[in-house]
Structure 1
Amino acid sequence: STEHHLEDFGKGIYSAEMTEKTYDKMIKLARDAISRGKVCCLDASFGLASQRAKVLKLAKDTGVPYLLIHTKAPEKMVRQRLDKRLRKSKDPSDGRWEIYTVQRKRFEPPVEIPADRILELDTSKHFESIIEKRLGVLIS
């Protein structure tokens, strides 16, 4: 659906209950896919250790290796990208600057994840240069 739900953080789709349901559903779908031999990419903010713990448990339970891709970009660029994405009528994301700033303040660094399982990406660079520099990490 491309319908936007512009709600405040902590309400509606951004409520703690709805967020937990969304993450739980994503983990369930990933578990099902892994059981069928599929590879998964879980795309979410995973800003809280409790959210990442569910993925770590999934990886441990299934014996599947994981990699956390932690992206960063200058604040000005993040705001421009979020504003542009919100204006695109076909982008289903409801993410916007107001949500991002709250998530950023609540972000818990992934200290529970070993450094060799974290890929830091500066997304202010061109995608091709990011891939060229980091591809080795992904396949090693």
Structure 2
Amino acid sequence: MKKRNTCLICLQGLSGSGKTTVANFLASTLNIPVYHSDVERKKLFGLSPTENSSLANLDIYTKEATIRTFQKLYELAFEELSAQQSVLVDAAFLRHHERLRMQQLARDTGALFLIVKCQAGQQIMIDRIRTRQHLGNDPSEASEDLIHKQKQWQEALTSDELQTCIKVFTEEKNWQETLLQRIYRYIS
């Protein structure tokens, strides 16, 4: 990645939309660190990334836990940007205030701010969640029901956010190439 300036990239989308796959692809391709909300949330509660919170008798999805998780993601992003390092943050970012805080962090540190909005068809998202649940080796504990709830919580991107938003349809065959072309337009 060119060091013209640093970049804060926030992955955004519903559960099963492909955020983590996209985040890991970009982190590897652009050689920048990535922080996943599912992993950081579990760390806050002393769990390993693939440990099931309900089996540990913990409710890690309360409003307070979500606030703590986003605070931790903010702190991690701040550390990277303060060290002049670009960073990716993988979280649903369904609410405007969550995205706004990261956008302000980018402004405060002089970083470019991008939102990568991951999208997929509903059945694709459900199938991905079912596969994760079956395999039991993913930090996400999202359920099929959560997609329906997230659609109700989701706050649309503002016109300001849409100016720095790149949409990626993760069920398309060559999404990686298309996404990289769009990102390089911003960071080159």
Normalising by structure 2, we get a TM-score of 0.67
Per the alignment, in what secondary structure is the counterpart of residue 67 of structure 1? strand
Aligned mate of 2:135, from 88, 92, 95: 88
CA distance in 2, matches of 1:18, 1:135: 33
**Alpha-carbon offset, residue 18 of structure 1:** 0.8
Normalising by structure 1, we get a TM-score of 0.88
Higher RCO (C-alpha 8 Å, min separation 6): 2
| Runs of 4+ in structure 1 over 3 Å off | none
Equivalent position amino acid for 1:94 in 2: E
Aligned in 2, Cα 1:6/1:100: closer, same or farther, shift over 3 Å?
Answer: farther
CA distance in 2, matches of 1:57, 1:35: 14
CA distance in 1, matches of 2:104, 2:179: 26
**Alpha-carbon offset, residue 107 of structure 1:** 0.2
Aligned in 2, Cα 1:90/1:77: closer, same or farther, shift over 3 Å?
Answer: same
The aligned residue for residue 183 of structure 2 is: 138
Aligned in 2, Cα 1:6/1:70: closer, same or farther, shift over 3 Å?
Answer: farther
**Alpha-carbon offset, residue 47 of structure 1:** 0.1
**Alpha-carbon offset, residue 34 of structure 1:** 1.2
* 1:13 to 2:60 alignment: yes
Alignment of 1:1-140 (within 5 A): 1=48, 2-6=50-54, 12-126=59-173, 129-140=174-185
Per the alignment, in what secondary structure is the counterpart of residue 119 of structure 1? strand
More displaced stretch, 58-67 vs 89-98:
89-98
Q: Is the 2:115–2:161 Cα contact (8 Å) retained in structure 1?
A: no
More displaced stretch, 42-51 vs 80-89:
80-89
